[in-house]
Amino acid sequence: MDNKNKKFYIILVLSIMFANTAVIFTKNALSFGAMPIIIGFYRLGFSALIVVPFALYKEGKHFLTLTTKEKLFSMLAGIFMALHFLCYFSSLMYTNGFIATITSAVQPIVIAIASYFLFKETINNKSILGMIAAIIGILFIGIFTYLNSKGNNSFIGFIISMMTALFFCAYLLCSRGVLKRVKEYTFLAILFTTCAVILGLGAIITKTPFTGYPAMMYLNCFGLTFFCTILGHAIMNICVKYVSATVVSVVSLTGPLFCTFYDFLVFGEKVLPFQIIGGLIILSGVYLFIKSDKKDKEETIEIENLLN
């Protein structure tokens, strides 16, 4: 793996690290009485206000060249993103941050299958082994976390978390397809604006108040915007343009490790031995997947060069 690719994967992991600070800001915002749909609205609303002017300045002419199909698929990604965030925020009302993220283990399976049919992307046997190892690690942590819980987790929280993972897969796959033709900042502007509008309309329909919360609630929503959306999801979406969605989804399995660390650092939750063991399994699986995936691509390029 050359230095350019090493830097790329480091950036990808950092984006996931920032994205998972959501557990901190969301729990704080919920503690001030805000409903999940309002937290999502302000998070994506602030994101749109930051990205849209920048996108118009950098890529304003490019936006005018987009086809109707490109605009619609960018908006569809925004709809899936809105549903993903709504389910994630809602799941934290029923369970803790770690349990809310363990269901992300289904993502690589769904994405790998969908990418095969949609983009003809294949992965080698060693990459599959790494993916399976990472999934085993996250399920290992999840099962023992559930067995050690004190009754704070419920079946409905698990179901909502599963929906969170599935909607994440949907919007990641849409991003993968759209970013082949649409520039990054233009796509993010459409993505965040659509997401904010959907969540805003949802708040209006459900008669959820937009105002009347303490200033700290809005500050936590801005924290979600800056750290989780801009430094996290925005960079992660851009990463999808350069590697397969499967790679991004597998590397994202490190998310629960960051959640565990944040829960320990901010909320004083203990890091248990089984979480450390599971974490090592996850990291080993992710490393094997990335290394094998990179090697497979290099061998493919070498074969193509010889044939040419």
pTM over 0.85: no
Residue 143, both tokens: 């099962």
In whole numbers, what is the pLDDT of the chain averaged over residues?
Answer: 80
- pLDDT-derived band at 68, boundaries 50, 70, 90: very high
Residue 231 has pLDDT above 80, yes or no: yes
Domain of 28?
3-307
CA distance 246 to 173: 9
Of residues 117, 105, 87, 106, the one with CA closest to residue 26: 87
What do you get for the CA distance between the two ends of the chain, in Å? 23
Residue scoring higher pLDDT (76 or 235): 76
Task: Find the mean pLDDT for residues 64-68.
Answer: 92
- pLDDT for residue 89: 78
Phi, psi of 206 (to 5 degrees): -85, 0
**Residue 251 to residues 157, 233, 239: CA-CA distances in angstroms?**
24, 13, 11
Residue pair 267/137 in contact by the 8 Å Cβ criterion: no
CA distance 89 to 93: 7
Residue scoring higher pLDDT (154 or 184): 184
Q: Is 120 exposed, middle or buried (0-12, 13-18, 19+ CB in 10 A)?
A: exposed
CA distance 72 to 31: 36
Task: Find the mean pLDDT for residues 203-213.
Answer: 93
- pLDDT for residue 151: 55
Task: Find the mean pLDDT for residues 146-163.
Answer: 68
Q: Is 270 left (phi over 0), alpha (psi -120 to 50) or beta?
A: beta
Residue 212 has pLDDT above 90, yes or no: yes
CA distance 209 to 102: 31
Of residues 52, 11, 7, the one with CA closest to residue 235: 11
Give the list of residues 6+ apart from residue 114 with CB closer than 8 angstroms, or none. Answer: 169, 173
Angle at 15 between CA 166 and CA 83, to 5 degrees: 30
Angle at 67 between CA 66 and CA 73, to 5 degrees: 95
Total domains, the chain: 1
Q: Enumerate long-range contacts of 174-177, CB under 8 Å, 24 or more apart.
A: 174/73, 174/74, 174/76, 174/77, 174/80, 175/77, 175/237, 175/240, 175/245, 176/115, 176/118, 176/119, 176/240, 176/241, 176/244, 176/245, 177/73, 177/118, 177/119
